[in-house]
A and B are shown apart, each in its own frame.
Chain A
Amino acid sequence: MMKRIATGLMAGAALIVAHGGAQAATEINWWHAMGGELGTKLEEIVAAYNASQDTYKVVPTYKGSYSETMTAAIAAFRAGEQPDIVQVYEVGTGTMMAAKGAIYPVYKLMEDAGKPFDPSAFMSAVVGYYTDTDGNMLSMPFNSSTPILYYNKDVFEKAGLDPEHAPKTWAEMEEFSRKIVSSGAAKCGFTTTWMSWIQTENFSAWHNQPIGTLENGFGGLEAELTLAGPAQIRHWGNLKKWSDEGLFQYGGPAGAADAAPKFYAQDCAMNMGSSAGRAGVLANAKDFKVGFGMLPYYDDVEGAPQNSIIGGATLWVLQGQSEEEYKGVADFFSYLSSAEVQADWHQFSGYLPITNAAAELTKQQGYYDANPGSDTAIKQITLNEPTANSKGLRFGNYVQIRTVIDEEFEKLLAGGQDAEAALKAVDARGNALIREFESANK
């Protein structure tokens, strides 16, 4: 046994030596938050890049959840040990953008490295979220998704509904849910993941309603939340009503850990979740057929349906590295946004294709025909050209504001306040957080 360990150690040492010898390539560090199968796929993509050339070597490191990855990168930056690239979730965008001395904007990086870079090649709904007011791209989109509706075709059939007809409006959601519950086909009509992202932010964009001043915060740090609009109040009020009637079941804060299990266990007939969850949904829905639909809307709200907004993460480049490394980052980004790589990533994960070319390629390859429902997300996010209300949002301290949204919604469900009071409380508490952020970033 000891001998075997010793041999192993020696082999390891030899490997390190051999590795060190071949280290002519410039190393580029990439901290990411993709665990599980997505992480494996990410490593495959990187390995393919490393094999394609020998000037640069990208080293991906998994740093845990999105917030852990971001915190780790910030701590590393303060200690002068930052990676070249870090993957940051969309709600961290405000924080990254405000840190002007810490980030190297992607449009500038590509320009300085002399790499061809055309922002219009990217999907506008994706890029809009990450550009400054002058239309410059600050970070590199990598994994973006948008919420869609998943429904249980078998339960629909049992309840006497047409399994090929996904509910289009909230009126239909209510009607279908009532039929499902009263017929005993399932215990509840629908549940949802991400109360904040889906039922508040996306809901507002989808109905072309603002959630804040200054173009949802894109215009500057002085923006304020205005979530307590008539459409949002109506929707939150309905969710509370439907929750009391048993048509809707709440799945928990943030990503709603209980929502997907409720759907898989056929307790709830419908679930709203990220399009990137498609593979997971299909793998878990063993006993029933899954249908896909766009998010429902209120057909009497003017402007609905507009387009949905994204979630997910982008790649930020951090300051303080050598020019040689930045050249490598630019080269790697060109590779990463190529149609082939993007189409492969999109088809594997369910994340959106970042470029129009990747979407086109996927279509040509016949993927959407072979996998019905896989293009729902793209159709929904590109339904209309984004407006000021539907290109995304950018507020400081948004990570905490998401928590505030969950908390006030929970208070509403528990019966402590009505929908208007809940959304007004979100505005008040959220604005305090935004002011806090503004004063820290002056």
Chain B
Amino acid sequence: MQTKRAIFPNKFLPYALLAPQLAITFVFFFWPAAQAVKQSFYKEDPFGLSSRFVGLANYTKLFQEPDYLNSIGRTAVFAISTTGLALILALIFAVAVDRLIRSRNAYTTLLLWPYAVAPAVAGILWWFMFNPTVGILPYMLDVVGYDWNHRLNQTDAMILIVLAASWKQISYNFIFFLAGLQAIPKSLKEAAAIDGAGPVKSFFTIILPLLSPTSFFLLVVNIVSALFDTFAIIDATTAGGPAQGTNVLVYKVYQDGFIGLNLGSSAAQSVILMAVVILLTVIQFRYIERRVQY
């Protein structure tokens, strides 16, 4: 890792320059996070009239709650499927576009479009297409004999949110993969070709290893975004149903806190999520950024 050192003539100037950013971070991140940690140790009625310190009870209760354990499982399925699908499809698109010469820019622009769509809008689009009553896809699936109903079938519902979430993520991954592919020196590919390696062989032995820093970066970013950034998509499509089938952790925080008004439990859940994201960030910076090299 490289370090840059800027020399400031005035001792206080750097701190003054940092102050606005620090103030925002403090007011909008640290302070609410501290509040959540505090709240997670209390049991409180919604209006805040009576508040009781309960120690770790909110946490221990969570791990005895079948709904929460179920939610952890669903989240794992969702995050892994979304990340896998989004990475693989984006890589295929990037490799395909990378081979083009004249139409490359046009395809790049087209493939980037979904990223500009707001998550809630994306959710509504998919909800319409898959709606069991008015949607086009259930109608077509019906022709081939599949009775699509994400209102009742948990697998259908999971497929729906995985598609909706990865559809948006593909654009983001695509642009990184494309940049990564273009950074690979032509000479390496040509040398492999001269040595008789076909496109498949050269993809797996040369391109993929050289893309590994990009891939690992995207892996972490994708997992984080599948865990935390998919609220709008789920809210607009399945709202956690059917029967908790798509109630991932971040959606459960909302349901328990904002609809159920169970603030202590909701705070404990968000503290756990905070720990997960801290862990992922540490992994990314400590291990991946250092070890994945070529």
Contact check, B261 vs A95: say whether CB atoms are below 8 A apart.
yes
Q: Which of B99-107, B235-243, B286-294 interfaces with chain A?
A: B235-243
Residues of B within 8 A of A258 (CB): 131-133, 151
Q: Give residues of chain A (98-130) contacting chain B, Cβ–Cβ below 8 Å.
A: 98-102
Contact check, B47 vs A99: say whether CB atoms are below 8 A apart.
yes
Contact check, B152 vs A74: say whether CB atoms are below 8 A apart.
no
Given A102-B49, A414-B152, A261–B243 Cβ distance below 8 Å?
A: no
A206, B131: Cα distance in complex, Å = 33
Interface readout for A392-404 with B: 1 if CB under 8 Å, 0 if not?
0000010110010
Question: Does B264 reach chain A (CB closer than 8 Å)?
Answer: yes
Q: Which of A322-330, A345-353, A434-442 interfaces with chain B?
A: A434-442
Interface readout for A244-268 with B: 1 if CB under 8 Å, 0 if not?
0000001111000010011001010
Interface size class of chain B, counting residues whose CB lies under 8 Å from the partner chain: 20 to 34
Q: Which of A22-30, A162-170, A208-216, A405-413 interfaces with chain B?
A: A405-413
Contact check, B264 vs A407: say whether CB atoms are below 8 A apart.
no
A253, B151: Cα distance in complex, Å = 8
Residues of A within 8 A of B132 (CB): 258
Residues of B within 8 A of A78 (CB): 47-48
Interface readout for B253-275 with A: 1 if CB under 8 Å, 0 if not?
00110111110100000000000
Query: Which single residue of chain A is at the shortest CB-CB distance from B67?
Result: A429
Contact check, B45 vs A253: say whether CB atoms are below 8 A apart.
no
Residue of B45, B239, B242 near A440 (CB, 8 A) is B45
Query: Which single residue of chain A is at the shortest CB-CB distance from B264?
Result: A440
Given A74-B261, A95-B261, A258-B151, A253–B47 Cβ distance below 8 Å?
A: no
Residues of B within 8 A of A413 (CB): 152
Question: Does B3 reach chain A (CB closer than 8 Å)?
Answer: no
Residue of A99, A252, A400 near B45 (CB, 8 A) is A99
A399, B241: Cα distance in complex, Å = 15
Given A253-B242, A407-B241, A410-B243, A99–B262 Cβ distance below 8 Å?
A: no
A439, B242: Cα distance in complex, Å = 29
Residues of B within 8 A of A407 (CB): 241-244
Contact check, A74 vs B243: say whether CB atoms are below 8 A apart.
no
Question: Does B32 reach chain A (CB closer than 8 Å)?
Answer: no
Q: Is the interface of A mostly helix, strand, loop or mixed?
A: helix
A403, B244: Cα distance in complex, Å = 9
Chain A nearest CB, measured from B257 CB (Å): 9
Contact check, A411 vs B243: say whether CB atoms are below 8 A apart.
yes
Residues of A within 8 A of B52 (CB): 442
A261, B132: Cα distance in complex, Å = 11
Chain B nearest CB, measured from A427 CB (Å): 15
Interface readout for A223-254 with B: 1 if CB under 8 Å, 0 if not?
00000000000000000000000000011110
Question: Does B168 reach chain A (CB closer than 8 Å)?
Answer: no
A67, B261: Cα distance in complex, Å = 10
Question: Does A77 reach chain B (CB closer than 8 Å)?
Answer: yes
A439, B61: Cα distance in complex, Å = 13
A406, B239: Cα distance in complex, Å = 12
Question: Does A71 reach chain B (CB closer than 8 Å)?
Answer: yes
Chain A nearest CB, measured from B31 CB (Å): 14
Query: Which single residue of chain A is at the shortest CB-CB distance from B242?
Result: A410
Contact check, A261 vs B133: say whether CB atoms are below 8 A apart.
yes
Contact check, B152 vs A400: say whether CB atoms are below 8 A apart.
no
Given A67-B259, A262-B133, A99–B152 Cβ distance below 8 Å?
A: no
Contact check, A397 vs B43: say whether CB atoms are below 8 A apart.
no
Contact check, A74 vs B151: say whether CB atoms are below 8 A apart.
no
Contact check, A95 vs B259: say whether CB atoms are below 8 A apart.
no
Question: Does B283 reach chain A (CB closer than 8 Å)?
Answer: no
Contact check, A399 vs B131: say whether CB atoms are below 8 A apart.
no
Given A410-B242, A413-B152, A98–B45 Cβ distance below 8 Å?
A: yes
Query: Which single residue of chain B is at the shortest CB-CB distance from A256?
Result: B151
Chain A nearest CB, measured from B241 CB (Å): 5
A251, B131: Cα distance in complex, Å = 11
Chain A nearest CB, measured from B233 CB (Å): 17
Residues of B within 8 A of A442 (CB): 50, 52
Residues of B within 8 A of A414 (CB): 152-154, 242-243
Question: Does B46 reach chain A (CB closer than 8 Å)?
Answer: yes
Residues of B within 8 A of A95 (CB): 46, 261
Contact check, A99 vs B49: say whether CB atoms are below 8 A apart.
yes
Q: Give residues of chain A (163-216) contacting chain B, Cβ–Cβ below 8 Å.
A: none
Query: Which single residue of chain A is at the shortest CB-CB distance from B46?
Result: A74
Question: Does B134 reach chain A (CB closer than 8 Å)?
Answer: yes
Chain A nearest CB, measured from B32 CB (Å): 13
Residues of B within 8 A of A67 (CB): 258-259
**Could you list 18 A-B pairs, sorted by A, with CB under 8 Å?**
A67-B258, A71-B261, A74-B261, A99-B47, A102-B47, A102-B49, A253-B239, A258-B131, A258-B133, A258-B151, A400-B260, A406-B243, A407-B241, A407-B242, A414-B153, A440-B44, A440-B262, A441-B45
The 10 closest A-B pairs by CB, nearest first: A407-B243, A102-B47, A410-B242, A410-B243, A99-B47, A101-B49, A400-B260, A78-B48, A258-B133, A411-B243
- Contacts A74-B47, A261-B133, A267-B133 known; list 7 others, CB within 8 Å: A67-B258, A99-B45, A101-B47, A258-B133, A397-B262, A410-B243, A411-B243
Which A residues are within 8 Å of any B CB, using their own CB?
67, 71, 74, 77-78, 95, 98-102, 250-253, 258, 261-262, 265, 267, 397, 399-400, 403, 406-408, 410-411, 413-414, 436, 439-442
